[in-house]
Amino acid sequence: MGSITLILVLGFVLLLIINVPIAVSIAVAAFMAIAAQGSDPSVMIAAKMAEGVNSFALLAIPFFIFSGQLMGRGGMARRLIDFANSLVGMFPGGLAYVNTLTCMLFGSISGSAAAAVSSVGGFMIPEMNKKGYNREFNVAVTTTAATTGLLIPPSNVMIVYSVAAGSVSIAAMFMAGILPGIITGLFIMLVCGYFAFKHKYSSADRVSFVEALLSFKRAILSLLLVIVVIGGILKGIFTATEAAAVAVLYAFILSVMVYREIKMNELPEILKKTGITTAVVMLLIGASSGMSWIMTMANIPQSVSSGLISLSDNPVVILFTINLLLLFVGTFMDMTPAVLIFTPIFLPVVKTMGMHEIHFGIMLIANLCIGLCTPPVGTCLFIGCGAGKTTIAKVTRYMLPFFGAMAVSLMVITYVPKVSLWLPVKTGQLKAEAVEKTVQEWNSNVLGMEPNKKAEESGEQ
């Protein structure tokens, strides 16, 4: 079995080194490993790829991609910028806070970090440049803040994780990401505050109460999309997949009929981009399904689990090690394939420590969000540098404090399970008794507390 693992890993790495597309690299590496295992690779790869994409939940992905495309070109970003400006623009360095808050709002509505960087950054970076903010700082703010939209629902990558992890509720994942996304955004704002104080950045013009109400009125229809999607799921009106179709209908009506920012003759181009993006994601999911099967046959998850446990019996150290490995992976691998490949490897490990699968999913996504901002394959970083007309080398120095903020947020998400699990319990997506049992087991394993120690201490008092 060791030779199969070696063929799989070396084949995958070598193909990546010679710049073969990652979906093809995954499929070819799996093909070679399956052949070494003794099965017919042509049959198994085809069967596993078909099986991997044969999921009703995955229908949500093309719908959310399409709705994100409509929102990106439908005039929503400008209205959200005005609304964010009325909330936080009056503080010193206010445009940096406006940028961060708008990226959080738009990223959550569109479900795409790349769309947030291009749509929000396309306006905010030149505007901040005009007001005397440092160009590289402006790019760094936009690039990092845009990733919060992958934690705040709806989010395509949460759907991918739910499929990769098995029977994980998409609705529970959506609710679990809200608080971590907000916390990450607040840490980014703290860094913005530091730069504003250090460089004495001015505040934006104070907005009157009437103007604030008007900006809210202009933005309310865009903001309602999240309420419609999440509220419909929580009330049981529709499933997460059906919610994605509702999001398309809502975004279409808003962009084409209400705001009239998109013309009917532009729809074929938008549909074409949606189809291309969906094809790439589905190819990745199909290829990763073949790789996951051969990894299971080669006992790779069990071997990794044994290796991590032999490294240390301290769950804090194991989780820190997993985070370091994922941070390294995120620098050269895009988020979707990373989630598909490493979920079946690390999820069994963390489950043995009492970590809830929803909690791990949020930790995984928060970790890989950092990789979207780092070279050599940081999609958001490239788009941000393009919008800001600057280079990665110049931006990197300003990115470091923001990486620190995202890392601190990641540690909070990793070691405080209730940050991810509290809201799904309150909204009824997770059973309180099951989560409480998991948290008690977590406290016992990670903090060294007996499960009922707190209750006993309170009873004695």
**pLDDT tens digits along 328-383:** 888 878 888 889 888 988 998 888 888 899 999 999 999 999 988 887 778 888 88
Token reading at 261: 């920012």
Nearest to 152 by CA among 127, 123, 130, 173: 173
Its domain, for residue 133, covers 2-430
Query: What does the alpha-carbon distance between residue 412 and residue 418 come to, in Å, rounded to a whole number?
Result: 10
Residues 400-436: tens digit of each pLDDT: 999 999 999 999 999 999 899 999 998 888 888 878 8
Kindly tell me if the per-residue pLDDT of 460 is higher than 50. Answer: no
In a domain, 172, yes or no: yes
In a domain, 453, yes or no: no
Kindly tell me if the per-residue pLDDT of 78 is higher than 50. Answer: yes
The per-residue pLDDT for 450 is 56
Higher pLDDT, 320 or 82: 320
CB 243 within 8 A of CB 233: yes
Mean pLDDT highest for which of 106-110, 291-295, 367-371? 367-371
Kindly tell me if the per-residue pLDDT of 4 is higher than 50. Answer: yes
Residues 147-190: tens digit of each pLDDT: 998 998 888 899 899 988 887 888 899 999 999 999 999 999 99
Residues 183-241: tens digit of each pLDDT: 999 999 999 999 888 888 877 667 777 888 888 888 888 888 888 888 888 888 888 88
Kindly report the average pLDDT of the chain as a whole number. 85
The per-residue pLDDT for 269 is 93
In a domain, 184, yes or no: yes
CB contact burial 120-130 (16+ within 10 A = b; e otherwise) = bbbebbebbbe
In a domain, 319, yes or no: yes
Phi, psi dihedral angles at 335 (to 5 degrees) = -65, -45
In a domain, 213, yes or no: yes
In a domain, 86, yes or no: yes
Nearest to 281 by CA among 335, 355, 356: 335
Query: What does the alpha-carbon distance between residue 47 and residue 64 come to, in Å, rounded to a whole number?
Result: 27
In a domain, 135, yes or no: yes
Kindly tell me if the per-residue pLDDT of 440 is higher than 80. Answer: no
Number of separate domains in the chain: 1
CB 29 within 8 A of CB 12: yes
Phi, psi dihedral angles at 451 (to 5 degrees) = -50, -40
The per-residue pLDDT for 85 is 80
In a domain, 419, yes or no: yes
The per-residue pLDDT for 412 is 95
